[in-house]
Structure 1
Amino acid sequence: MHQQKTRLFSRGSWPEATRISDLLRLETVGGVIMLAAAAIGLIWANSPWASVYETLRSVEIGPESLHLRLSLAEWASDGLLAIFFFVAGLELKREFVAGDLRDPRRAAVPVAAAFGGVAVPALIYTGINLGGGPALAGWAIPTATDIAFALAVLAVIGRCLPSALRTFLLTLAVVDDLIAIVIIALFYTDHLSVLPLALMFVPLALFTVLVQRRVRSWWLLIPLAVATWALMHASGVHATVAGVLLGFAVPVIRRCGEGPGLAEIFQHHWQPLSTGVAVPVFAFFAAGVSIGGLSGFVSSLTDSVTLGIVLGLLVGKPIGITAATYLVARFTKAELDDDLAWIDAVGLSVLAGIGFTVALLVSELSFGEGSSEYSNAKVAVLLGSVLSALVATVILRMRNRVYRRIHEEENRDADNDGIPDVHQETTQNSRATNE
């Protein structure tokens, strides 16, 4: 029996490519909205009306008796981001249960790349801040890739790039988010309250039982989800972890004859709220750092926190992702897909250096509101993300011109069934190999 070689960044199946395309449209629009919200927050925080912005961030609402009297900024980072991570949990589970990445050979590359893209930036930051002190607490800040931000940039600069690169970036970023959530749960939980944490599993278990039975009644599921979130918040573990656990609880595989699976249905309903509201509102409150004019900006550039984050995002991410991808190819004898070149992988790894949503969240958890380290970290996240986007733009724009001709040929190369022949050939080759 002939064994087909594993191809790095190979085309997925046509249903998977279609699903990814639909998802990318939502992420792209959300990325644009998020960038606009972040720009408004940054400009407002450095305007003559900065005091109004700070007052707005500190307005407290919520029931004091339940220990949920939080500022608007805290509601954005602890509450709204739970929706973001709920959607991320749904997407991650779908990728590994029903997506092309259920094949370990396909999953190995983005998973290894995600771990490489986390480890190397953390090592660079730690090396620069090895002297210890409060600065060392921010080692995890440059490890995160922002899905919406990166995909929005990719959509603008690389419309003709192979869809396999977009799928790879999406999967890498989702796995990256999962690693970030594990880091937050393990390393950024200062005070753990065991009783609320234990009680949290009660509404989570009820939620799981209901969704496994395909119950979709919002008046049952939402109160259980809110209770899970509130108890997780009271336990001291960051409340966004509850979002991931709830996402993992939702079944992916559809029942015979029932149409889309429940995870797909939930993602369809909650993704617009996540990308269009939750993430932009968080970006608005998180990006508003007072730079202090040109002198203040230059001064922050010499700080070790700033240097560690910028170099971690701009240098560490590309090195970690590219090296991990190369090692997978080297030791598994996998080959790059015929339509791609290694410079594509390099450009994509630079783009993964765009860290925003989770990076800003980890900055807050590392240093706390009001500290100079927190201000410098926010400046560094913004600067590192912008520089990564610019460098990636130069690389991928050149590659985009190369792929434009191929893209036009593939658009013409479709049968009456609407499925491009390249996807049919991939499926047929896979079937022939299995036979």
Structure 2
Amino acid sequence: MNAPGPRRPAVTEFARFLRTETTGGMILLAATAIALLWANSPLGDVYQAVRDFKIGPEFLHLDLTVGTWAKDGLLALFFFVVGLELKRELVVGELSNMKAAALPILAAIGGMVMPAVIALSIAWGEPGIDQAWAIPVATDIAFALGVLALTGSNLPNSARVFLLSLAVVDDLGAILVIAVLFTASFDLIAAAVAIAALALYAWLQHKRVRSPWLYVPLAVVTWVAVHSAGIHATIAGVALGLLTRVRPDEGEEEAPAIRLEHRLQPWSAAVAVPVFALFAAGIAVDADSLADVFRNAIPLAVMAGLFAGKIIGIVGASMLAVRLRLAKLPRNVGWLDLLALATLGAVGFTVSLLIAELALVEYGPLVEEAKAAVLITSAVASLVGAALLVRRSRAHAENDDE
């Protein structure tokens, strides 16, 4: 009798999550267009000057450029929301039921491993590939859900749940990659402060303390400590999200995680991620730069890994899991539906752009080429995925009419 109880909030929260992320996807697309137009206009020098303008105190190395504040600061809010969503999915959502979670988990793993394998096989031995292989492992949930909402209106809800669950697991994988691969130096004192701050946050959650006057300063201390420790600062957001309580107490209308998602997700989707995109997607677009994207090994590896790797990895892992009876397809979802959803998995964007900047920061023009490869592949995947979803949506509509 108690088992179905926690499922209800998960379903309603999923619907709300879908609405917010699809809107955010449209704003993200607009920010990307503005970045490209601005960077390639006569005001391109102004764009670079704004992006590279330093602001902040030198204390604790916080004199960062505007672009870095967007990447390390604003994206921490995005990853905090990801952490909340991941915690909710693991505790009361689709991923709390291992039978239901098996397929998206295995599909996500396949969709991370295969892009890395393809990228390494294409650019093996190239300078920077030791970290650049991670660029195509990520899926952009906002763009993917935005395309799905616009073109897959007649697909069963189970298809949307599958894509969301896959993207959440994918985000977890990308978070682990960032934490492990991009920790160049390590400050033990700062790390100890971060751990103490996280422990205090968890204790306050356990004691049901609700005052933002405690949590906001504590979150800032955690972010600064993680940044100073040499770990990418966005990890602070994820850790805080995972430590937030997701089950409401008796008489409590909403758990803290749900309440925080309601308040912060619109800011994440409509402000944090688009501003990051504004300063990350402004790359030079001309005949020579585009030619370099298609003739240099690393951008080619990114494109092949992101597009072919994601589709082959997600579909292949799903087929293997179903054949071995480790999982089963979601209700009313066929293999052609899953192929269309896997194509949306090739929309990398936000996290892929972040990893490109982290992986190739020392390689000059390669950063711009890799980011261009991400943008091109994401656009192609969006268009191909949209076309496939329109066809599958029509097929489901015809079946419903019968």
Alignment TM-score > 0.5, same fold: yes
In the other structure, the counterpart of 1:9 is none
2:132 aligned residue: 138
Partner of 1:41: 35
Q: TM-score, normalised on structure 1?
A: 0.88
One-letter identity of the residue aligned with 2:117: L
What are the within-5 Å matches in structure 2 for residues 272-291 of structure 1? 272-291=266-285
Alignment of 1:146-295 (within 5 A): 146-291=140-285, 293-295=286-288
More displaced stretch, 388-397 vs 28-37: 388-397
Name the structure 2 match of 1:416. none
Kindly indicate whether the alpha-carbon contact (under 8 Å) linking 2:293 and 2:370 is maintained by their aligned counterparts in 1: no
* 371, 393, 397: which one aligns with 1:400: 393
Matched residues in 2 for 1:338 and 1:95: separation? 19
Alignment of 1:252-401 (within 5 A): 252-291=246-285, 293-332=286-325, 334-337=327-330, 339-368=332-361, 371-401=364-394
Per-residue CA deviation, residues 304-347 of structure 1 (Å, 9 max, x unaligned), is 11111111111000100111111211112644355221010111
1:88, 1:247 within 8 Å by CA — same for their partners in 2? Answer: yes
The alignment partner of 1:21 has SS state of: helix
Structure 2 residue matching 1:332: 3-state secondary structure: coil
State the one-letter code of the partner of 1:62: G
Per-residue deviation, 1:265:
0.7
Aligned partner of 1:262: which letter? P
* Matching of residues 44-193 of structure 1 within 5 Å: 44-193=38-187
Query: How far did 1:235 drift?
Result: 0.7
Distance 1:33 1:399 in 2: 26
CA distance in 1, matches of 2:10, 2:60: 43
Offset, 1:390: 1.4
Distance 2:300 2:173 in 1: 23
Number of equivalences = 397
Within 1, Cα distance between the matches of 2:328 and 2:142? 29
Residues in 2 aligned to 1:201 and 1:338: alpha-carbon distance in whole angstroms: 42
User: How far is 1:209 from its partner?
Assistant: 1.2
Query: Following the alignment from structure 1 to structure 2, what is the Cα–Cα distance between the partners of residues 18 and 149?
Result: 21
In 1, Cα distance between the equivalents of 2:14 and 2:125? 44
Distance (Å, rounded) in 2 between the aligned partners of 1:100 and 1:177:
15
Cα pair distance change 1:337/1:132, threshold 3 Å: closer
Supply the distance in 2 between the matched residues of 1:161 and 1:22 (Cα, whole angstroms): 18
User: If the length of structure 2 is used for normalisation, what is the TM-score?
Assistant: 0.95
2:26 to 2, 26, 32: 32
Residue pair 1:135, 1:373 contacting (<8 A) in 2 also: no
> In the aligned structure 1, how far is the partner of 2:178 from the partner of 2:253?
36
Give the drift of 1:135.
3.5
- Which structure has the greater CA radius of gyration? 1
- SS for the counterpart of 1:336 is coil
Q: Judging changes above 3 Å, is the alpha-carbon distance between structure 1 residues 158 and 196 closer, same or farther for their aligned structure 2 residues? A: same
**CA drift at 1:47:** 1.1
Identity percentage of aligned residues: 46
Q: Hey, what does 1:429 align to over in structure 2?
A: none
RMSD (Å) for aligned C-alpha atoms? 1.7
Work out the CA distance in 2 between the residues paired with 1:127 and 1:370.
20
- Say whether the 8 Å CA contact 2:158–2:330 is kept in structure 1: no
Regions of 4+ moved over 6 Å: none
Local SS of the residue matching 2:242: helix
CA contact (8 A) 2:158 2:332 kept: no
CA distance in 1, matches of 2:70, 2:125: 33
- The gaps in structure 1 that reach 5 residues or longer are 1-11, 410-435
Structure 2 residue runs of 5 or longer lacking an equivalent are 1-5
Look up the equivalent residue of 1:390 and give its one-letter code. L
Q: Which amino acid aligns with 2:14?
A: I
The one-letter amino acid paired with 1:88 is: V
Shift of 1:159: 1.4
Q: How many Å separate the matches in 2 of 1:251 and 1:280?
A: 28
